[in-house]
Structure 1
Amino acid sequence: MKNYQILKRLSLVSASAFMLTFACKDQFLEVLPTGSLAQTQLTSRAGVEGALIGTYAQLAGKGFSRLAAANNWVWGSIRGGESNKGTDPGDYSNINAMQRYETDPTDGDLNSTWAAKYEGIARANATIRLANESKELSASDKTRVIAEARFLRGHFYFELKRLFNSVPYVDETIDYGKGIEKVKNSPDFWGKIEADFKFAFDNLPETSSAAGRANKWAAGAYLGKAYLYQNKFADARSMFTNVIANGKTTNGKKYGLVSKFAEIFNAENDNNEEAIFAIQSSMNTGNVNNANGFDDLNYPYNTGSDGPGNCCGFFQPSFSMANAYRTSNGLPLLGEQADGTPDYNLAANAVKNDFGINSAAAFTEDTDPLDPRIDHTIGRRGIQYLDWIEHPGANWIRAQPYAGPYSPKKYIYYKRQENTLTDGSSWTRGYATMNFNIIRYADVLLMAAEAEIEGGSLATALGYINQVRSRAANPAGFVTKGGKAEANYSISTYTTLGDQANARRIVRMERLLELATEGHRFFDLVRWNVASRTLNAYLKYEAKWLITKFGGAAYNEEDKFLPIPQQQIDIQGADVLTQNPIK
C-alpha cells in the first residue's frame, strides 16, 4: 500500500473542525455537540498539524468539482488547445462551452472551482490562526507550520489570479464578523502572493519526514514562477538559478531529471528527483477520496479488461497537439503561416491518424520523424499503450467524429498496477494513486530558460533547453515493442537558439512538447500575449475535423480570465464583487 504521512490524518480536519461552539453560561449545559472539537483540541499539536494536513488535502479539490483540482485539465489544457473535451456531446456537456471560450457565469463547475480555492485559503488561514494560538508547538514548529500554510495559501491565490485575475484577498486577520463579507475583488494582490512564497522560502526546512510537504526549494520554485508571470525576469532568473544549483526534494534528493520521460508519470516512481511539488495520492484508506479522483474520467472509453479504467473517454488530445510532435532533422517545426497556422498543421506535416477508420479496418501507422514524447503523451492507434495492448483506435474512442482519434496517456496507470496502485473500491477501476506534479524540474528548467532569454544569457537558456531535450532523446525511454521503437523517433539538441525572437519560439515550443496535458498551456499563451492568434488558428484547424463542436467558436481578449461566478456575486452583492469583462 502506498501512503504518506501528509494524508494519514485527513479525517481530523473538516469544515466543522474550524467552527467553535458556544453554549449557555450554565456549566451543565456546556457540552460540545458530537463530532465537534474544543479550542484546546484545535490548538494542540495534533490539532494544528491536522489542520495543516487538511489544507494540503484541498490541493486535489476534494468535495468539489472534478475541474477544481490543481491539474487544470479543463482550464489549462482543454482551453489551451492541447486536448478536446472528448467522449460525446452530451456527456458533461457544459465543458463544451468552456472549450469554445463561452463559459457561463452561472456554470456550477465554475463556481465550484472558485469555492474550492477559497476552501483551501480558509483552511490555510485557520491553520495560521491555530498555530499562533497554540501553547504546545515549539517556536520552530510554529514557524514551520505557518510557512507551510502560507505556501499553500500562495498556491491557491496564484491559481485564482491566473483563473479569475480579480478576486477578494482574505488573510488570517479577517474572519466572519470582522468584515470578510465586505472584501471587494481586486487584481492587485501579486505582492501578497510573493510575500507568502518568500516567507515560505525563508522559513521552511529543506527536508522533512513526510515526502509530500512543501520545502524551502518548492517555495523558491513557486516564487520564481510568480515573478515570471509578472515579467519580473531578473528576479525570476535569480531565484531559478538558486533553485537549479541548490534545490533538493523534501526527501533529500538533489533536483534533477529522471532518466526516462515515462517515469515521471508512474506511481512506482512518485516523489522522485524531478518532483518539486506534487499532490500526494494514496489508496486503501477506507474510501477513494485520497486517490486521483480528479482524473477518473480521463481514460480511454469502453476498454474492458484490455485497457485501464473502464471509463470514460474524456480529455482526448487534439489533432494540433499530435502534429506538434513532427520533427525535421530532429527539431520541431517552429514556423507558421500568415494566418497563424503553425507549419506542423500543414497537410504535409500532419501526423497520420485513423480518424474515421473502424478498428477492424486496415491502417498504416505514420512513418515520418516524430519527437518520442508523442507516444508518452498521446495514445494513438497501433502504438503500445503502456503495458496494456497496442492502442486499437476507434474501439477505445466513444465518438470519433466528435472528439477525434486520440486518447490521453500521461497519468494513466499500468496494467501491472491495477488493484495495487489503483483504488477500485468505487464505480471505476480508474482511481489511480500516482501523484500529480504541480511543479516539476523540467518545468523549472524551461521557466529558467525563459528568464534567461528575456534578461540574461542565451547560452545558459540553450543549456537548460537541451537538458530537457537530451532526456527525451534517451533511447532507453522510447516506447518499444519487442525491443524495437514503435515509431520513427527523431530528436536532437539545438546548437544555437539564434536571436532573442527565435529563442522565444524555441522555448515556447519546448514547453508545449514537454508539458502537454499537464495544465499549463492556456496560462502560458495568455502570459506570452499570443493567446488570440494561437487559439483562433487552433480552432480553425480543429473545425476542419470536428465541425459540430468548433464551428463559430472564437477566442477574444475577454476570454483570458474566467467570469466571476454569478452565484458568488449573488451572495456577496454586486457592490462587493465586480464581474470580469464578458464578450
Structure 2
Amino acid sequence: MKPSIKNNSHTATYISYPHCWDKTGVQKNIRMHLVYLFILILIGSSILSCNKILNKEPISFASPEANYATGAQLLQALAGVYDVLGRQREQLYANKLFNQLGACTDEGFYARNNQVVGPMVYNFDFTDADIDQTWQTLYIGIERANNLIYYINTPKSMNPAERNAILGEAKFLRGYYYFLLVSSFGDVPLKLNPTTITGAASENVPRSPAKEVYAQVLKDMTEAEAICYPATTFNHSSRVSQTTVQGILARVCLTMAGYPLLDKAKYKDALQWATKVKQSGIHALNPSYSQIFINQAQDIYDIKEAMWEADFIGNDQSTTQEQGRVGNTNGIQYTAANFADTGYSYAFINVTRKLYELYNQGDLRRDWAIAPYGYSGTNRVNKGSLIYDRNCGKWRRSYEKLTPKSKNNTGINFPILRYADVLLMLAEADNQLNNGPTANAYAAFNEVRRRAYGFPVNIPNAVSDLRAGLSANDFQQEIIDERSRELCFEALRRQDLIRWGIWTQTMSALANQMNTHLAGNASWKYASLGATNAASSPKFLLYPIPASEFSVNKAATQNPGY
C-alpha cells in the first residue's frame, strides 16, 4: 500500500490540488497560477478603466504564450485542466455528479421530503442551475485543455517524454469532458481551439452530432494512450496514466455500442481496451472492498485498484482549501453538534430496497455500501427492516484523519475509475461480442464476485462464482445486477441504464415497487417521486441545453421535450 503523497513530506511539499509533479518531485501549483492570471486580468481591466479617465495607453500586455513558456508552467496549466474535476463550483466529483445529478436511479433516491423540484427528482427545465453549472464547468475544462494543447510546444527546451505526457493528459481530459457532455446532453458544440485564437468565430457554434463528438473523444483518448506515463510512474491516482486511458476508452466504447448510437462494432474495441488494462499486470483488486473507501477517506493511494480519483484535501482550517463534499452529502447521517470527530453528514442519498435485495447472503459489500446503522443525536442506532431509511455508506467520515472535521467539506477522494469496473466491462464486452460469455468473461466477472465474499480472487469458489452455461441474455442480466452491487453510488448507474436501453422501464418498475413497499407509510411515500417523474417522459434520457448557452450562442438548439 502506498502512503499518501499529501503527507509524504520527505519527497515534496504539498501546495494544492491536484498532484502534478515534475521529474524532481516538486508539485506544481495550479491555484496560485490561476490567481496570478486572475490578478493580471484585473490589472489589465484596471488599466483600461483608468485609461478612460487619464487618457493613457497601457504600456504592454503579456502574450498568451508567456503563460506556457516553461515546463513548470505547462504542469501548472495541466493542473488547471484537472481542477474542474474537483472543487470548481462543487460541480462534477466534488458534489453534484453523485448528489443532485446522480441521486435518483434504481440504487437510491434523494432523501428530502420537501424536494419536489430539481434533477434529483426529475422535475426541471432548461433553466436549472445545477445542469447549467455542470455544462459551464465542463466547457471551462475544455477551454483550459484547448489552450494547453495549442501552446504545448512553447517551451524551447524540455524533456520530450514529459512534454508528451502533459499533452497526452490534456488531450485525454478534453476527450473525457466531451464524453461527459455528449453522454448527458447529446449533440453539443465541438470546440477544439482556444477562444483567444478563434475569437468571435467561437461564439455562435452549432451543436455537432453526437457521433462526431464521440469520434473526437476517441481521437483524443487514443492519441493520449500512446504518450501518457504508465501508472507506475506515480504513487497516487490523481494523474491519468496509460492504463487509466485504456479503461476509460473501454467505458466510452461500451457507451457507443449501446443506446442511442448502437454502434455494435465498438464491443470489440471495448474488449481490447479492457484486456490491455488486465494484461498490463499493473492493476489488481484490493482484497478488501471496504478498504477501498477507507483509503479514500485517509488519503492512502492504492493505484492497483483505484486507477483514477478526484482528489481532495484539507478542512476549513487548512491553508489549502481543496475539499469536496464526498461523505458529507452522500454519507451516513450525523447532524449532532459535536461533528468535529464523527463528521457532519446531511445524508441526502438513501438506498432502494431493490439494491439491498440484489445482494446475496454472505456478500460483504451490502453492509458497507448500504449503512446498517445511523445516528440519533450522538447515539449509533441499528436500522430495521424498512431499508428505505438507510443511507449510502461507502464514504464514512468517521475514518477521516484530519481533525477538527469541517461541517460541510471533506478531504475524501472520489473514484472515477476502479479496476473492478474494468473487469466488469471486459466481461460485458466479451459476452456481447461472442453472443455469450467465454472463459475470459467468467474469469473477469468471478474475480469481482470472489472479492465480494472475502475469498481469494484467483481461486474458484462455488459460493461466489457464477454458474457456467449462461446464455448471452442471462449473463448480461448478471452484469446489470453486478455493476449495481459493486459500483453503486459511483456516478455510473444513470448512464449504464440509458446505454442498455432500459432507463425508462427500470425507473417505472422501481416507482411501482417503491409505492407497493411504502403503501400506508406516509412518512416515506415521497421516496418514489423521482422514479415516477423519471419514467414519465423520454426527454429525461438527455439533459436540456441550459439557458446560459442560449444567451451567448445564437446557433444553439434545444433537446426534444424541453
State TM-score, norm by structure 2: 0.80
How big is each residue's C-alpha offset from its partner over 1:7-39, in whole Å with a ceiling of 9 and x where there is no partner?
Answer: 75132333873887598999994266xxx8974
Matched, 1:557 2:538: yes
Q: CA deviation at 1:550?
A: 3.2
Equivalent in the alignment of 1:511: 483
Matched, 1:460 2:478: no
Does structure 2 retain, via aligned residues, the 8 Å contact 1:68–1:112?
no
Matched, 1:133 2:154: yes
Q: CA deviation at 1:106?
A: 0.6
What amino acid is the match of 2:550?
A: I
Q: Distance in 2 between matches of 1:491 and 1:302?
A: 40
Q: Percent of pairs identical after alignment?
A: 23
Alignment of 1:410-449 (within 5 A): 410-415=394-399, 417-419=400-402, 424=405, 426=406, 428=407, 431-449=409-427
Note closer, same or farther for the CA distance 1:256–1:75 as it changes in structure 2 (3 Å cut).
farther
Q: Secondary structure at the match of 1:437?
A: strand
Equivalent in the alignment of 2:322: 290
Q: CA deviation at 1:139?
A: 3.3
Q: Distance in 2 between matches of 1:135 and 1:414?
A: 49
Note closer, same or farther for the CA distance 1:139–1:475 as it changes in structure 2 (3 Å cut).
closer
Q: Distance in 1 between matches of 2:177 and 2:35?
A: 17
Q: Distance in 1 between matches of 2:101 and 2:287?
A: 27
Note closer, same or farther for the CA distance 1:568–1:9 as it changes in structure 2 (3 Å cut).
same
Equivalent in the alignment of 1:177: 199
Q: Distance in 1 between matches of 2:161 and 2:248?
A: 23
Does structure 2 retain, via aligned residues, the 8 Å contact 1:259–1:471?
yes
Count of paired positions: 497
Equivalent in the alignment of 2:260: none
How big is each residue's C-alpha offset from its partner over 1:382-437, in whole Å with a ceiling of 9 and x where there is no partner?
Answer: 89xxxx9754449xxxxx99x9411121122334x3425xx73x5x0x53323211
Equivalent in the alignment of 1:244: 278
Q: Distance in 2 between matches of 1:562 and 1:491?
A: 42
Note closer, same or farther for the CA distance 1:567–1:173 as it changes in structure 2 (3 Å cut).
closer
Q: Secondary structure at the match of 1:81?
A: coil
Does structure 1 retain, via aligned residues, the 8 Å contact 2:326–2:414?
no
Equivalent in the alignment of 2:311: 280
Q: CA deviation at 1:143?
A: 1.9
Residue 118 of structure 1 is aligned with which of 129, 136, 139? 139
Does structure 1 retain, via aligned residues, the 8 Å contact 2:146–2:192?
yes
Residue 335 of structure 2 is aligned with which of 302, 305, 311? 302
What amino acid is the match of 2:514?
A: E
Q: Distance in 2 between matches of 1:221 and 1:67?
A: 19
Equivalent in the alignment of 2:126: 105
Does structure 2 retain, via aligned residues, the 8 Å contact 1:103–1:562?
no
Q: Secondary structure at the match of 1:147?
A: helix
Residue 34 of structure 2 is aligned with which of 14, 38, 43? 14
Q: CA deviation at 1:549?
A: 4.9
Please provide the CA RMSD for this pair.
3.4
Alignment of 1:66-85 (within 5 A): 66=91, 69=94, 72-74=97-99, 77-85=102-110
Q: CA deviation at 1:132?
A: 2.8
Note closer, same or farther for the CA distance 1:10–1:565 as it changes in structure 2 (3 Å cut).
same
Matched, 1:5 2:31: no
Residue 372 of structure 1 is aligned with which of 328, 346, 364? 364
Equivalent in the alignment of 1:265: 293
Residue 470 of structure 1 is aligned with which of 450, 455, 458? 450
Note closer, same or farther for the CA distance 1:114–1:303 as it changes in structure 2 (3 Å cut).
same
Matched, 1:194 2:231: no
Does structure 1 retain, via aligned residues, the 8 Å contact 2:327–2:397?
no
Q: Secondary structure at the match of 1:84?
A: strand
Q: Distance in 2 between matches of 1:505 and 1:103?
A: 31
Does structure 2 retain, via aligned residues, the 8 Å contact 1:277–1:440?
yes
Q: Distance in 2 between matches of 1:156 and 1:57?
A: 12
How big is each residue's C-alpha offset from its partner over 1:103-136, in whole Å with a ceiling of 9 and x where there is no partner?
Answer: 2211111101111111111111122123232334
What amino acid is the match of 2:552?
A: I
Q: Secondary structure at the match of 1:474?
A: coil
Q: Distance in 2 between matches of 1:445 and 1:476?
A: 16
Q: Distance in 2 between matches of 1:158 and 1:15?
A: 29
Q: CA deviation at 1:184?
A: 1.2
Equivalent in the alignment of 1:30: 59
Q: Distance in 1 between matches of 2:465 and 2:343?
A: 37
Does structure 2 retain, via aligned residues, the 8 Å contact 1:412–1:432?
no
Q: Secondary structure at the match of 1:198?
A: helix
What amino acid is the match of 2:306?
A: A
Equivalent in the alignment of 2:551: 570
Q: CA deviation at 1:150?
A: 0.6
How big is each residue's C-alpha offset from its partner over 1:487-525, in whole Å with a ceiling of 9 and x where there is no partner?
Answer: xxx952113151111111111111010001111111101
Does structure 1 retain, via aligned residues, the 8 Å contact 2:102–2:491?
yes
Q: Distance in 2 between matches of 1:103 and 1:179?
A: 32
Residue 223 of structure 1 is aligned with which of 249, 262, 266? 249
Does structure 2 retain, via aligned residues, the 8 Å contact 1:446–1:507?
yes
Q: Distance in 1 between matches of 2:57 and 2:415?
A: 51
Q: Distance in 2 between matches of 1:189 and 1:314?
A: 34
